[in-house]
Amino acid sequence: MRAVVVRRGEREPTVVEQPRPEPAPDEALVRMLRVGVDGTDREVVRGAHGGFPSGADEMVLGHEAVGVVADANGTDLTEGAVVVPTVRTPAAGGDRSWFERDEADMAPWGSGDFHERGIAGADGYMAEYVACPAPSLVRLPPEQAGDGFLVEPLSIAVKALEHAEAARSAFDWQPESAMVLGNGSLGLLALGLLDADSRFDRLYCLGRRDRPDPTLDVVDGLGATYVDSRETPVETVADVHEPMDLVFEATGYARHAVETVHALAAGGVGALLGVPEDWQFEVEGGHLHRELVLNNKALVGSVNSNRRHLAAASSRLASLPGWLVDRVVTGVYPPDQLDAAFTDDDTTIKTAVELNEYEER
C-alpha cells in the first residue's frame, strides 16, 4: 500500500510502498479516505516540530484523518463505519490513565504518556491502511466521509472554546463580541463556529493579507470584520473597534498572547492555541498584570482534543454552511500530487490527500 512519509534528513514528503499493517489485538484496521494538511504537518516536514518514532528513519505523516473501518478485528467497531481517529494514542510504558478517562489531551507535554500520530513518536494516518487502537476511533455519520478530515481541526477549536467558556462559568458571562487572531484554516473554522453561536453579534478576524484573498472572502461571507494587523495592531483593537469578550488566538505569534489581554473587554477570555518558537521581548508587565486583575480577564491555553471534542466537532461540522466548507477546502489531491497538497500560498486554505475513495456499503 502507499503511504506518505517524511524521511530523516529530507525536507519534503515522499510516497513510499509499505506492507499493509496487521492490526494488533484491540486495534482495528482503518482504510483511510482523506487526510488533511496543516501548518503542523509542514513544520514536521521541515523538522521544526515533532519527532520520528523511536529508532525509525521515516514517519508516516498526517493527523487530520477520516477513514472507514475495514477490519474490526474483534473490537466493537462496525466494519464500514466512517471514523475519525484521535491524534494522541498511548505510548508504551506511559501512564494510561489519561486515555482511560479520555483526557489524553490534558496530559503533560513531553511526559512520554502519549504519541501524537504523524507528529511525534508514531506514524500518522496518511496511508491507505492504518491500524488504530479501537478507543482512538470516533464514529462519524457517513455523510462526513468526504469532509470528515475537518473534524479534527474543528475539534481543536471546539475544545479551546469549551475551555474558554468554562473559564467564564463562575459568573453570568454574556459575550457579544469575538475576534479570531489568524485567518488560516483553524482561524476560519473557529470563526465559523463563533458565527453559529447566536450570542456573538459581532465577529472580527485579524490577518495581514491584501484583497482579493480567498481567506478574506470567507471572513466577509461570515459577516465578520476584517482587521488588518499592519494597520490595526492587536493592542489597539479595543479602541479602534471594541473590547472583545473573546479572543481566539491561532497565529503562534508570541506577542499576540500578551496583546490579547489588552484586546479583551472586562470579564473577557483569550483562548491561546499557537505554538511559537522561543522569543524574548519587552512587555508592559505591570499594565498586563493589572489589566488581568482589575478587569477579571482570563487566558486559557489549549492543545489537542479528545473523543468528546471530536464527536462535538462532527455535530458542529454538520451545521456549518456548505459554502464555508467548500471555500475552506481549496484542494483534495491524490498521493502523486503531494507538491500541491503541501503547498502553502495565498490561494490555499485547507488541503487534503485522498488515499482511497469512499464506497458506500
Q: Give the Cα separation of 64 and 157 in Å (integer).
A: 13
Q: How far is CA 21 from CA 29, 110, 339, in A?
A: 8, 27, 26
Taking the least distance from each CB to a second copy, the nearer of 279 and 361 is 279
Q: Which of 236, 187, 203 lies closest to 350, judged by CA?
A: 187
Closest approach of Cβ 97 to a second copy, in Å? 10
Q: Give the Cα separation of 140 and 30 in Å (integer).
A: 13
CA angle (185, 304, 74) in 5-degree steps: 110
Q: How many CA atoms lie within 13 A of 327 on its CB side?
A: 20
Closest approach of Cβ 304 to a second copy, in Å? 8
Taking the least distance from each CB to a second copy, the nearer of 14 and 296 is 296
CA angle (238, 184, 331) in 5-degree steps: 155
Taking the least distance from each CB to a second copy, the nearer of 53 and 274 is 274
What residues does 269 pair with on adjacent strands?
246, 298
Contact (Cβ atoms closer than 8 angstroms) between residue 63 and residue 160: no
How does strand 177-181 pair with strand 244-249?
parallel
Instruction: Summarize as ranges the residues that interact with a second copy (CB under 8 A).
Output: 101, 103, 105-109, 111, 159, 162-163, 165-172, 252, 254-258, 265-267, 272-303
Taking the least distance from each CB to a second copy, the nearer of 69 and 91 is 91
Closest approach of Cβ 338 to a second copy, in Å? 28
Taking the least distance from each CB to a second copy, the nearer of 148 and 184 is 184
Taking the least distance from each CB to a second copy, the nearer of 29 and 91 is 91
For residue 281, give the C-alpha cell: 521581548
Taking the least distance from each CB to a second copy, the nearer of 16 and 292 is 292
Closest approach of Cβ 74 to a second copy, in Å? 30
Q: Give the Cα separation of 5 and 225 in Å (integer).
A: 39
Contact (Cβ atoms closer than 8 angstroms) between residue 257 and residue 229: no
Closest approach of Cβ 107 to a second copy, in Å? 7
Closest approach of Cβ 50 to a second copy, in Å? 12
Closest approach of Cβ 361 to a second copy, in Å? 36
Which residues fall within 8 angstroms of residue 199, CB to CB, at 6 or more apart? Answer: 174, 175, 176
